[in-house]
Structure 1
Amino acid sequence: MAGQKSTLTWAVHISVAFLVLLWVFPTVGLLVSSFRTGDQIGTSGWWAALLPQEQVVQFRTLDPDDARVPVGDLFVVEGDIFEGGEPLDIAAYGTSSRAVGAFEPGEVSEMGEGETLVLNPDGSYVWTGTDDQISGRGQRIFATVTSPPEFTTANYEFMLLDERNSEGMTRAFFNTLTVVIPATIIPILIAAFAAYALAWMDFPGRALLVAAVVALLVVPLQLALIPLLKLHNEIGIGKGYLGVWLAHTGFGMPLAIYLLRNYMVGLPRDIIENAKVDGATDFQIFTKIILPLSFPALASFAIFQFLWTWNDLLVALVFLIDSSGQTTVMTRQIVELLGTRGGDWEILATAAFISIVVPLVVFFAMQRYLVRGILAGSVK
């Protein structure tokens, strides 16, 4: 009926909404996790970041040799697990890692042979025992506490400002830009000329070239890595920026030519013919008419190529080999962090979000051209 949406339209809308949420949720989760502490990430998901968190925290009593006080035949150590800091709500406590919540606050923990420990709800404790028991290191206390939501910028300060990490991450950031910018511009320049020739110039074998471009779209990247690396090594560009630029250019050319040709074929023929009648050469038509009108398609491919090269790890590992780390890109730097700081989830989340900030900015700045460029030539 008129005015009512069909079932197919609703299905499309629901599918689009699902895909958007599928993309947004991990991104938002990564952003939220990058501002959380490691303890809170380990105890709850990012969606609970605004709620109080219950977690088990290990404390130690004061050093018995300095803090113990004789009381009759026994010795006593008294103190506060929070040591003047902000007190937290204690739900339970324990003195063994196998029973971290065995006792209620204020309940006496019997540790054998008369040794006892009491942790009060306010964080104060009393540890009592004999001379042999109250000695050495302080007694461990595992407290189950409820902490308020906590956000911090220390993760970003550690990654960007701390000398132990900022040098590697900053260098990797600029190395990635050094790879991505030429690897995006070079294939666009070459593919634009090729696309114009395949769209508007008549020459023998044009149809075969178009078919070859379409066939190259299905060639997997991994298939050409070893032969291309051997070629680069033979001509002396196997370990450097030039080699990785040419590799990204070669792998991106088929899509660039296909996308740009489809767009240029859809441009009005009258404009091209009128320009030729007025005496314009093919180069003048290309630079002054075709390129300005083809900006949506150029921007569309630029988004694809930029995102692909920025997030690439395989090509960088193969063609940008450097044992000193001077040419390490962002993706490889994050992999190295996984090996050295695999348990520091807050640091990994921060590094990952830093690596996707630039692609997000590029995508949202140019996304209005994306659909126009992709759909160009699909409807006649």
Structure 2
Amino acid sequence: MAQASGNSAGKSSFGRWGVHLAVLFFVAIWTIPTLGILVTSLRDKDQIITSGWWNSFFSSSQTQAGRLGAAAGQQERDGKFVIEGNIFETPGASTVSAFGTRSAAPTQYPAGTAADLGDGETLQVNADGSYIHSSTKKFEGERGQRVYYSSTVPPKFTTENYYNVLTSENVGRSFLNSLTVTIPATIIPIMIAAFAAYALAWMRFPGRAILIAVIIGLLVVPLQMALIPLLEMYNGVGNLFGVPSKTYLGIWLAHTGFGLPFAIYLLRSYMAGLPRELMESARIDGASDFEIFMKIVLPLSFPVLASFAIFQFLWVWNDLLVAMVFLGTDQEHLVLTGRLNALLGSRGGDWEILTTSAFITIILPLIVFFSLQRYFVRGLLAGSVKGG
């Protein structure tokens, strides 16, 4: 018996460690990309191009190109014409390790070496970026000598990326537009689905099983297939009653329609698992279905309501397709995802804009998730329990 007990304890301990390791693994899988986006969004744009975010806390070596001073700044010394200056906009920002005058050999000469360029012309670039360009002949031309150099750059973090994105034209308005779309589009389906879920879980009426089957079937309908027919139906009804097509009402109804099947399915599964004795006791005391729903079922269903609110909020907040179809792309109604997409369209090569925009879009959903996450797992697990 003692040996069996010891084996059981060993298996139990191994199982606990296995679960913990699995949880840590999946947490890392989800957290590392988010951390990468955050770090990249705070990096200098030049360093983003040359190294990955995991190297952001270490000095990096970069090969860059620049130009020396133009001929207009030359001075004559001891029979030579000399141009002096610093290749860095901010002297001391980095350290030069090597330089060259040809793109094929950007590190041909070590820093501090006086390179012979021929015809009495020499160039010396020092480690601090200062240079001396001299020649026995007078320099000519409006543009200075092109020079390539390899420099060691310390890690640099900045909030300039966020300033550029947040101060872009109409970003604040688009943020408010997204809130205007998301909050009602989250609340409306919860209100409707809660009543429907209670009716399907605890009320007996003809066609109940068929309704449940239809709702489950609607879960697999692709949004892209139903979007255009839904828009045509909405426009037809709107024309009949004189309602404009591009309004918030349209997108609220669209997100409500797409979110209701999952909401009803999730809430019904949860409510069906509530103790039957509570319902029967309330009915014996003379409570109506509405009173049972409002005073018993709804307070007990808050965890699953919070779970669905997280799902719906994330979906609507990150949506671009439905917003563009029902609201269009005019400046007055454009949502945040559309605004940032337009910003990226004109500046697609700027990785700092991409990562900063991505992190800005997930800040509010993260706040909502962590505010309601204590109910999240409890609501989903409880929803998997089937009632009698």
The 10-residue stretch of structure 1 (193-202 or 13-22) with the greater mean CA deviation from structure 2:
13-22
Q: Secondary structure at the match of 2:110?
A: coil
Distance change >3 Å, CA 309–CA 205, structure 1 → 2: same
1:3 deviates by 1.4
In structure 2, the partner of 1:188 is 190
Q: Match for residue 239 of structure 1? A: 246
1:338 corresponding residue in structure 2:
344
Match of 1:315 in 2: 322
Change (3 A) 1:238 1:98: farther
In structure 2, the CA distance between the partners of 1:294 and 1:87, relative to structure 1 (3 Å rule), is closer
Equivalent in the alignment of 2:280: 273
State the partner residue of 1:30: 37
Q: Which amino acid aligns with 1:137?
A: R
Alignment of 1:330-369 (within 5 A): 330-369=336-375
Residue 67 of structure 2 aligns with which residue? 60
Identity of aligned residues (%): 56
Are the aligned partners of 2:194 and 2:267 in contact in 1 as well (CA < 8 Å)?
yes
2:25 corresponds in structure 1 to: 18
Q: Which amino acid aligns with 1:363?
A: F
TM-score (norm 2): 0.90
Aligned residue in 1 for 2:100? 94
**1:298 and 2:300 aligned:** no
**1:328 to partner: Cα distance:** 1.4
1:134 deviation in Å?
3.9
- Equivalent residue number for residue 161 of structure 2: 155
- Residue 358 of structure 1, CA deviation: 0.4
Q: Shift in Å at residue 347 of structure 1? A: 2.2
CA distance in 1, matches of 2:217, 2:265: 10
Q: Please give the TM-score of this superposition, normalised by the length of structure 1.
A: 0.92
- Please say if residues 74 and 139 of structure 2, whose CA atoms lie closer than 8 Å, have aligned partners that are also in contact: no
CA–CA distance in structure 1, aligned partners of residues 308 and 37 of structure 2: 27
Amino acid at match of 2:132: V
Q: Which residue of 2 aligns with 1:109?
A: 115
Query: What code does the residue aligned with 2:305 have?
Result: L
Please give the alpha-carbon distance, in whole angstroms, between the structure 1 residues aligned to 2:22 and 2:261.
29
1:120-131 pair list within 5 angstroms: 120-129=126-135, 131=137
Deviation at 1:128, TM superposition (A): 2.1
Shift of 1:133: 4.1
Distance 2:29 2:172 in 1: 30
Displacement of 1:158 in angstroms is 2.2
Whether the aligned pair in 2 keeps the contact of 1:75 and 1:134 (CA below 8 Å) is no
* 1:81-113 superposed Cα distances (whole Å, 9 cap, x missing partner): 246632522111122333322221123334454
Deviation for aligned residue 1:13? 4.4
- Measured in 1, the distance between the counterparts of 2:90 and 2:282 equals 82
- Is the alpha carbon distance of 1:105 and 1:134 closer, same or farther for their aligned partners in structure 2, counting shifts above 3 Å? farther
Tell me if the contact between 1:128 and 1:134 (Cα under 8 Å) persists in the aligned partners.
no
- Name the counterpart of 2:58: 51
Distance 1:189 1:365 in 2: 20
How far did residue 4 of structure 1 move?
2.2
Distance, in Å, in 2 between the alignment partners of 1:84 and 1:311 is: 40
Q: Secondary structure at the match of 1:210?
A: helix
Q: Where does the alignment leave 5 or more consecutive residues of structure 1 unmatched?
A: none
Do the aligned partners of 2:267 and 2:383 also contact (CA within 8 Å) in 1? Answer: no
Report what 2:292 is aligned to.
285
After superposition, what is the alpha-carbon deviation per residue over 1:320-346, rounded to whole angstroms, capped at 9, x for unaligned?
A: 213x32211122122212211112212
One-letter code aligned to 1:293: L
- What is the SS of the residue equivalent to 2:85? strand
> Matches of 1:302 and 1:379 in 2, distance apart?
20
- Asked if the contact 1:87/1:123 (under 8 Å) is kept, the reply is no
- The code of the aligned residue for 1:204 comes to P
Aligned-partner SS, 2:57? coil
In 2, distance between residues paired with 1:306 and 1:377?
19
Q: CA deviation at 1:74?
A: 4.3
**Contact preservation (8 Å) 2:269, 2:385:** no
- Are residue 229 (structure 1) and residue 231 (structure 2) matched? yes
| Structure 1 residue 362, shift from structure 2 partner | 0.7
Of residues 205, 208, 221, the one that matches 2:207 is 205
The 2-side partners of 1:242 and 1:377 are apart by 31
CA contact (8 A) 2:92 2:129 kept: no
Which residue, out of 168, 171, 179, partners 2:170?
168
* Contact kept in structure 2, 1:155 and 1:347, CA below 8 Å: yes
| Amino acid in the other structure paired with 2:131 | Y
